[in-house]
A and B are shown apart, each in its own frame.
Chain A
Amino acid sequence: MGTKHFFFLLLFTVNSQLIAQDISGEVKDGNGKKLPFVNILIKEKEDSKKIIFFTQTDREGKFIFYKKTIISIENDSIYLEASLNGYNEVIKMIRQRELTKTYNINFILQRLQVQKLQEIIIVGKIPKFKISKDTISFKVKQYVDGSETKIEDVIKNLPGIDVNSTTGEILYKGKSIETVTLDGDNLFGFNYTLGTKNINADMVEQIEAIDNYAENPLLKGIEQGGKVSLNLKLKKNKTNYSGNITAGFGMFDLDKIATDIQGNFLTTSAALKSFATLSQNNIGINHSPFDYFGFNLSIEQQKESNYFAKKNLHETIFTNAVTMSRANINNQFFGNYNAIFKLNPKLSVKTNIYYLQDRININQLFQNNYTINNQNFVTKDNTFITKKPQQYRGDLEIKYNTSKTSLLEYNLRLRQENIKIPTIIIQNETEDFSSILHTKDFYLKQNLLWTKKLSDGKALQVSLFHSFNDLPQTSSITPSVFDENSINDIQESEFKKTFLEGKATYLGSSKRDKYTFTFGANLSQSPFVSRLFNSENTISENKFDYSKSNIFNTGVYNFSYGKWQISPSYSIRLLNQNLEQNIENQEQTQNNFIFEPTLNLKYKLNSVSFLSTNLGYNQNTNTEQYFFLNQVLMNNRTTVSNLPSLNLQNSQRYSLLYFNNDLYNQFQLNADISYQKSTGNYFTNQNITENTTQIEYFFLPQDNSNWNMNIQVSKYIPFIESTLKLISNSSISNFKNIVNNSALRLNENQFLRNSFFWKTAFDIPINFENTITYQYSNSKSKNLSAFINKSWQNTFRIILKPNKKWFLIVSSDYYLPNIEQSEQQFYFLDATLRHKPKNKKWGASFTMRNITNENNFEQVQTSDISTTIFKSNLLPRYFLLNLMWNF
């Protein structure tokens, strides 16, 4: 280190100017040159490194300490040090400093001898951290204005996220999410809509979108990546609980009371996290994840559809083009409780309890204009349905860490569902029928899963699965369809399904690749019994036992190389099917060796876009719904029977997807095209008359194929301060059938739907939004004329926000279901006024729906043999006053 030269000089320079009582001076080098950037330090001790004040010389080599800066120095004596890199340090002392005096202190610094400059190297260690690149977080308050919206409304706005408005399914970067966790805990599983549709936006601080989500922490990094999830980070309240209550009361046009009441309650603590919701409404809202109005399967039901028995007898309802909230004439009561208890660091128990009860009134008119074999005729059915579903369900999940590297999980579900559907049908405006369909559904599922982490990149899983589903149904139709002397016909139908599976999975991963191998076997047994009878005789009976078993091996390999991600996978299995028709004493057995390869490729074009393609080949068994031989009565006019076959269906699919999410330019473009061809299908042989429809399903090794194209483009245009979006879906399907003893017909359905969306973002209190949709469908059979329908739809909304507390939306929907029939038009008007005082815990809103009081809605659909007009009733005009309270 350098040497120091100490100069002790006592300098008193009295400055006659009384104003400046500072310390100032000048620094020069040995040659008299002025030195800038010299550090002048004030210290209390000569040899101390501690500095009290400092300054630097300017370009003239001058420095100054103002009195007001240094007035706080207590010591009488202070030291001034001048230091500059490459020069010697000089220290001067001011002894017994007087506050009224001005001091002028000059320094001369000598350059250090060069050979004293040594190279010095000191190296410490950078702290060790590995960053998870997989999470992006969004602050909720940036997406909401404090109005009492649910968190699903906020999720819809996040970039890269799409929400299906019917089912509530959430897609992140094009992939369906696994779940929505609360502060990291998976409370809801696949029924995450319970959380997203019910939790208030102001309970949530942030939403995280997580790539490579792994529910099982032992498998993190080892499991095949690509699972995505959302995590809600809740606001840290002073109390451990929060919730909200909404109470809405109003009147329908026909003097019926309208209600919408809901309460949500959330508790969070170290040992217990729970969410409960209770609701009642008769304004068409479905607060549950189960759809009893239409036939949409929830995400959970779609994933488990393999384990369910078939529901053979269905009520005849079609789903509306208008939103459910207009057509669902309901009276729903729903209760749900979800909780995770962390009993100790190794053991956690989760429970979910559901109860639902509803009463749905549907009045529908089906008018079919048939053209078959050059014959034209019309059928008309006017139906009055009251659907009364009831469901009890309880889930239990126990997770136990048997050691640091192993986890044991046990899952149990019990569900009992009863649906009663009394119906009145007026057939062809002449005959009256009444029927009651009673369906019971008992479901039990249990699963035991053991995971063992073998090393950092390897794990083993063993699982045992058992499920049982019993679906007895009874339908009674009055008067009898088959016999004049009989009062009614009764159709009993019962499908059962037992499913057992055991499998072991080996997972491994390294820096660049991941692989998974599974070995296992499963067995499913689906017995079926049906009986159609009346007081006179037994018309038709069925009894079969269908069993299916697989011994399988599947493998998935995922490899990343630069911008490519390559993922081939395969499935090899030995399939055995056995179908015993007990009444006819017929038995069919079939054994197959099946190989199903799939390839997924993804290429990252740049930071905002990628291209991906998927190719696959599958062989599938047919559903047991096609295995009963003798007729089953579905409703007053339809019977179904089959010619069963155990042959497999081979299908190939090819798809290409382009995804571009360029937030810098506020531009999004998704385009995908896919082609699917399946060889070996069940086709229908229909015999249709004015009063009856007989359908027979039979198997042919013939093709059905399908092209599907979707494009979605959206761009924000600064010039007009608006976002414009264009969405286009189109499909072409080729399929075959036989109608009224025809030869095998080749049919084609073409479908096109184009939507144009425009929303403004002006800075004035008023903004607009408009969506216009055109739909085209064309169904034809070869060499015959086509059934064509074109329709228009337009939704226009005005959004008024005069200040932060008041908020008004007026919305109008216009429908023209058939361009050829311009007199059939439907026009809906709704308005909502909201008030939320700032920082208060309550709010109020006033809603008016269907102000124009449209009481029914019509829709047109085409098929290869008919044009069908569906007409159904709607919720009448109502107003509702809603009060909300958050706590």
Chain B
Amino acid sequence: MKILINIALFLTFIFGFGQNQYSEIKYYFKINNGGSPVILDCALLYNENDNKSTFINFGFNSIPEEQKTEIDDINGDLLVNVEKYDDNNGQKPEYQKFFLKDSLVSHESVYGEKKYHVILEKLPTLRWEILNDTLNILNFKTQKAKVNFRGRDYFAWFSTEIKISDGPYKFYGLPGLILKIQSTDSKYTFEVYSVKLNISEKHFSITNLKEKYPNKKIISINDKVNLIKKNTEKERKFRLSNNPNATEIKIEHSGIELNYEDVINGN
């Protein structure tokens, strides 16, 4: 990947602590279940003063045409149905971390549900293991770390040069910003492509999901787990009753979170 380095230095004189400082880090989210990958555009917005951040998945449409190119036909293994990213009726997945309150609020799709839900959970406990490897990403020196989160193992590359203990999606808690994180089977990858630090409030703001979707009832993560169970069972029965020959159906979930043992067993 070619790196265009465009450093603009602005001296901002800030009097007092009145203005909020934000950092905007843009990632691309690559889902690669074999064959051709799906690339989605995402952004992490970090508010230093309030110790909170939001991670938004803008989807496929926001990538400008010039930055897209052709690839050859599929000959790999699985392909994800991309339609669900294009036609969400304007719904965007969003994840907000409130570090002071130790909580995480998500706005995302739940298996079998037509509309997105707003889900409240405790910030998941991530037991990072620091590894020796280092890597240069976007000219930042990064070190590798490993974690297991909800059924998947991930490798993350973080840089202490950016002292933000945050990262894409639900990942956080390393001594520097996570510039890249990838599941060990390479199916899910978040990688940075743009970093903007110390931007003043004029350009950004984080609206709490509760206020953004006032008509949506906030559910707990246990509610989400139960919804998934219920819808999976409904789908299994539906397929069973439409199926003239086979008498056993298995539904496999292949999303980024495979199990919720940390929630069921208590953090």
Which A residues contact B (CB, under 8 angstroms)?
Answer: 37, 39, 41, 49-54, 56, 83-86, 114-115, 117-133, 135-137, 139, 141-145, 147, 149, 153-154, 156-157, 183-184, 205-206, 208, 217, 220, 233, 607, 664, 666, 714, 716, 718, 721-723, 759-761, 767, 769, 799, 801, 804, 807
Residues of B within 8 A of A804 (CB): 248
Does A131 contact B246, Cβ atoms closer than 8 Å?
Answer: no
Counting chain A CB atoms within 10 Å of each CB, which of B9, B74, B195, B247 scores highest? B247
The contact of A133 among B77, B82, B114, B240, by CB within 8 Å, is B82
Does B12 contact A118, Cβ atoms closer than 8 Å?
Answer: yes
B34-75: CB near A (< 8 Å → 1, else 0) gives: 001111010000001001000000001001000111110111
Residues of A within 8 A of B186 (CB): none
Measured as residues with beta carbon below 8 angstroms from the partner, the interface class of chain B is 35 or more
Given contacts A49-B160, A83-B163, A208-B79, contact A123 B4 (CB under 8 A): yes
Does A121 contact B6, Cβ atoms closer than 8 Å?
Answer: yes
3 smallest CB-CB distances across A and B, nearest first, come from: A761-B240, A128-B69, A761-B241
**B146 to nearest A CB, angstroms?**
13
Does A801 contact B175, Cβ atoms closer than 8 Å?
Answer: no
Does B78 contact A127, Cβ atoms closer than 8 Å?
Answer: no
Given contacts A124-B3, A124-B192, A133-B83, contact A722 B36 (CB under 8 A): no
Residues of A within 8 A of B113 (CB): 664
| B1 touches A (CB below 8 Å) | yes
Counting chain B CB atoms within 10 Å of each CB, which of A41, A83, A117, A141 scores highest? A117
**A664 to nearest B CB, angstroms?**
5
Distance between Cα atoms of A53 and B143 in the complex (Å): 12
The contact of A145 among B12, B68, B200, B248, by CB within 8 Å, is B248
**B76 to nearest A CB, angstroms?**
9
Does B198 contact A119, Cβ atoms closer than 8 Å?
Answer: yes
Residues of A within 8 A of B74 (CB): 132, 135, 208
Does B132 contact A145, Cβ atoms closer than 8 Å?
Answer: no
Residues of B within 8 A of A139 (CB): 78, 252
| B139 touches A (CB below 8 Å) | yes
Does A119 contact B175, Cβ atoms closer than 8 Å?
Answer: no
Does A131 contact B244, Cβ atoms closer than 8 Å?
Answer: no
Does B160 contact A718, Cβ atoms closer than 8 Å?
Answer: no
Does B73 contact A132, Cβ atoms closer than 8 Å?
Answer: yes
The contact of A129 among B37, B165, B173, by CB within 8 Å, is B37
Which B residues contact A (CB, under 8 angstroms)?
Answer: 1-14, 21, 28, 36-39, 41, 48, 51, 60, 63, 67-71, 73-75, 77-79, 81-83, 86-87, 89, 99, 112-114, 128, 130, 132, 134, 138-139, 141, 143, 160-161, 163-165, 173-176, 192-200, 234-252
Given contacts A121-B7, A135-B79, contact A128 B241 (CB under 8 A): no
Given contacts A121-B195, A124-B194, A759-B241, contact A129 B250 (CB under 8 A): no
Given contacts A56-B165, A147-B245, A716-B234, contact A129 B141 (CB under 8 A): no
Distance between Cα atoms of A152 and B251 in the complex (Å): 20
Extra inter-chain contacts (19) besides given A121-B197, A132-B73, A154-B246, CB under 8 Å? A51-B143, A119-B198, A123-B193, A124-B193, A128-B69, A131-B36, A131-B60, A137-B78, A149-B245, A149-B246, A153-B246, A157-B246, A183-B75, A664-B112, A666-B234, A718-B234, A722-B241, A804-B248, A807-B247
Does B39 contact A127, Cβ atoms closer than 8 Å?
Answer: yes
Residues of A within 8 A of B51 (CB): 37
The contact of A115 among B11, B234, B240, by CB within 8 Å, is B11
**B80 to nearest A CB, angstroms?**
8
Given contacts A39-B163, A51-B130, A716-B234, contact A233 B87 (CB under 8 A): no
Counting chain B CB atoms within 10 Å of each CB, which of A147, A217, A666, A760 scores highest? A666
Does A607 contact B83, Cβ atoms closer than 8 Å?
Answer: yes
**B174 to nearest A CB, angstroms?**
8
Given contacts A39-B163, A118-B9, contact A157 B243 (CB under 8 A): yes
Counting chain B CB atoms within 10 Å of each CB, which of A54, A153, A184 scores highest? A54
Does A120 contact B7, Cβ atoms closer than 8 Å?
Answer: yes
**B57 to nearest A CB, angstroms?**
14
Given contacts A52-B130, A129-B71, A716-B241, contact A122 B195 (CB under 8 A): yes
**B122 to nearest A CB, angstroms?**
15
Does B134 contact A50, Cβ atoms closer than 8 Å?
Answer: yes
| Smallest Cβ-Cβ distance to A139: which chain B residue | B252
Distance between Cα atoms of A718 and B241 in the complex (Å): 11
Does A120 contact B196, Cβ atoms closer than 8 Å?
Answer: yes
**B46 to nearest A CB, angstroms?**
9
Does B73 contact A184, Cβ atoms closer than 8 Å?
Answer: yes
Q: List 15 A-B contacts (CB under 8 A).
A: A41-B175, A50-B132, A120-B9, A120-B197, A123-B194, A123-B195, A124-B138, A124-B192, A124-B194, A131-B82, A139-B78, A145-B247, A157-B243, A664-B113, A666-B235
Residues of B within 8 A of A759 (CB): 241-242, 244
**A835 to nearest B CB, angstroms?**
14
Distance between Cα atoms of A114 and B17 in the complex (Å): 9
Counting chain B CB atoms within 10 Å of each CB, which of A126, A128, A132, A154 scores highest? A126
Distance between Cα atoms of A179 and B67 in the complex (Å): 34
Residues of B within 8 A of A49 (CB): 134, 141, 143, 160-161
Residues of B within 8 A of A664 (CB): 112-114
The contact of A153 among B4, B196, B238, B244, by CB within 8 Å, is B244
Does B246 contact A119, Cβ atoms closer than 8 Å?
Answer: no
The contact of B193 among A54, A119, A126, A205, by CB within 8 Å, is A126
Does B160 contact A143, Cβ atoms closer than 8 Å?
Answer: no
Residues of A within 8 A of B9 (CB): 118-120
| Smallest Cβ-Cβ distance to A42: which chain B residue | B130
Counting chain B CB atoms within 10 Å of each CB, which of A83, A121, A156 scores highest? A121
Distance between Cα atoms of A722 and B198 in the complex (Å): 58
Does B112 contact A142, Cβ atoms closer than 8 Å?
Answer: no
Does A142 contact B8, Cβ atoms closer than 8 Å?
Answer: no
Distance between Cα atoms of A392 and B235 in the complex (Å): 47
Residues of A within 8 A of B176 (CB): 39
Given contacts A122-B195, A124-B1, contact A54 B73 (CB under 8 A): no
**A662 to nearest B CB, angstroms?**
9
**A451 to nearest B CB, angstroms?**
17
**B5 to nearest A CB, angstroms?**
6
**A458 to nearest B CB, angstroms?**
16
**B88 to nearest A CB, angstroms?**
9
| Smallest Cβ-Cβ distance to A662: which chain B residue | B114
Does B10 contact A118, Cβ atoms closer than 8 Å?
Answer: yes
| Smallest Cβ-Cβ distance to B15: which chain A residue | A114
Does A54 contact B175, Cβ atoms closer than 8 Å?
Answer: yes
Residues of B within 8 A of A718 (CB): 234, 237
Residues of A within 8 A of B73 (CB): 132, 184, 217, 220
Does B237 contact A119, Cβ atoms closer than 8 Å?
Answer: no
Given contacts A142-B251, A157-B243, A664-B114, contact A129 B39 (CB under 8 A): yes
| Smallest Cβ-Cβ distance to A137: which chain B residue | B79
Does B252 contact A142, Cβ atoms closer than 8 Å?
Answer: yes
Residues of B within 8 A of A721 (CB): 237, 241
Residues of B within 8 A of A233 (CB): 77
The contact of A761 among B8, B139, B164, B238, by CB within 8 Å, is B238
| Smallest Cβ-Cβ distance to B70: which chain A residue | A130
**B263 to nearest A CB, angstroms?**
22
**A660 to nearest B CB, angstroms?**
14
Does B67 contact A126, Cβ atoms closer than 8 Å?
Answer: yes
Residues of B within 8 A of A124 (CB): 1-4, 138, 192-194
The contact of A120 among B3, B132, B198, B242, by CB within 8 Å, is B198
Does B249 contact A142, Cβ atoms closer than 8 Å?
Answer: yes
Distance between Cα atoms of A123 and B2 in the complex (Å): 10
Residues of A within 8 A of B247 (CB): 145, 767, 799, 801, 807
The contact of A85 among B6, B67, B164, B238, by CB within 8 Å, is B164
| Smallest Cβ-Cβ distance to A763: which chain B residue | B237
Does A122 contact B21, Cβ atoms closer than 8 Å?
Answer: no
The contact of A147 among B39, B175, B246, B250, by CB within 8 Å, is B246
**A696 to nearest B CB, angstroms?**
48
